Amino acid sequence: MTTETITPLRQRMIEDMTARKLGAHTQRSHIYSCKRFAAFLKRSPDTATLEDLRQFQLHLAETGMSICNRNRIMTGVRFLFRVTLRRLEHAAEIYHLREPEKLPLVMSADEIKRLLAVAGTLKTRVLLSLGYGCGLRASEIVRLKVKHIDSAQDIIRIEQSKGRKDRNVMLSNEMLDLLRQWWKARPSRYDAGIPPQERWLFPSRKSAGKPITTRHLNRLFHEAADAAGIKKSVTVHTLRHSFATHLLDQDTNLRKIQLLLGHEKLETTARYLHVATGMISAIESPLDRLARPNHKRPRKTQRNRKEVQPSA
């Protein structure tokens, strides 16, 4: 993040975020939030009153902005007042809304097959296979290096991903074969001077020493999805949702899936129970049971039969 021609207030906020080891993406988001607040005020945020904060939150609601984006903006503003300006009464004025719980969108096994079959290039097929076959996030896919592929143990090591956590995911024989094919075809013009283990698996063609961007990956995904005739509102992250759901359909232990996805809480992983169609369809509906010709009502047992006590 550049520090050229910035105000002392922003510089101090950047220093506070850096000292707390906030990621670059989080820092950009917080700075953007404070810039938006300043634009609303038409003056520096450090001059804001409690009423200004109230009016700004009302303004965000009136614009029809999603709850997720409203919470994200106010998180950045709260950091400014709570940490940088040390105005706790202002921070207390900021409220967050509970976000609606939505079920993850999942593709069927047939849709995944079609998606991978129409992948225009080997590069696209490898990228999408990593998302579905290993449950990786888009940011995790593009940041893979040679050193992360451990063929001896059949694992891929994900380093410092969301929440600054490491984890291991499976490396199937088919995935390893695809990666080896890609390594032979991979452009190597920017590899000079870089140790083999430190080379990006998917280097950028435009920026030396950098990997492709998640925007590039998203474009390749949507091109493949359109070619496969998938009409759902899918994204690269849908591959990760499909990975978890299809593992559940195969009776994979929920705790194992949690570790593969890198979720901190089991409750986060458990939401895939609601979309595991194989598990849901395997449950017999009471209506189907009643419709069977040989259906009989359960006989009363001595335990559930009402006891009639003789009168005295």
Catalytic residue among 90, 148, 241, 272: 272
**Which pTM value belongs to this model?**
0.77
What values do phi and psi take at 158, rounded to 5? -100, 120
Residue with tokens 């592929």: 149
How far is Cα 115 from Cα 242, in angstroms, rounded to an integer? 13
Tell me the per-residue pLDDT of 158-173, one tens digit each, with 9 for 90 and over: 998 888 899 999 999 9
* Residue at 234: amino acid letter: V
Q: Is 123 a catalytic residue?
A: no
Catalytic residue among 70, 240, 241, 246: 240
B/e letters for 271-310, b = 16+ CB within 10 Å, e = fewer, are bbeebbeebeeeeeeeeeeeeeeeeeeeeeeeeeeeeeee
Catalytic residue among 28, 82, 237, 271: 237
Tell me the per-residue pLDDT of 175-184, one tens digit each, with 9 for 90 and over: 999 999 999 9
Q: Smallest Cα–Cα separation from 37: which of 70, 7, 2, 77?
A: 77
- pLDDT score for 149: 96
Is the per-residue pLDDT at 295 higher than 70? no
Look up residue 45 and give its DSSP letter. Answer: G
* Start-to-end Cα distance in the chain: 91
* DSSP secondary structure, 200-255, as one string: BSSB-SSSTT-BPPHHHHHHHHHHHHHHTT--S---HHHHHHHHHHHHHHTT--HH
- pLDDT score for 1: 44
- pLDDT score for 191: 86
Q: Is 190 a catalytic residue?
A: no
Q: Is 199 a catalytic residue?
A: no
Catalytic residue among 30, 90, 137, 199: 137
Mean per-residue pLDDT, 227-249: 94
Q: Smallest Cα–Cα separation from 251: which of 268, 273, 269?
A: 273
Q: Is 272 a catalytic residue?
A: yes
Do 108 and 231 contact (CB within 8 A), yes or no? no
Tell me the per-residue pLDDT of 71-124, one tens digit each, with 9 for 90 and over: 999 999 999 999 999 999 999 999 999 988 888 899 999 999 999 999 989 999
Look up residue 309 and give its DSSP letter. Answer: P
- pLDDT score for 209: 83
Tell me the per-residue pLDDT of 29-48, one tens digit each, with 9 for 90 and over: 999 999 999 999 999 999 99
Catalytic residue among 20, 162, 219, 232: 162
Q: Is 237 a catalytic residue?
A: yes
Partner residues linked to 103 by β-bridges: none
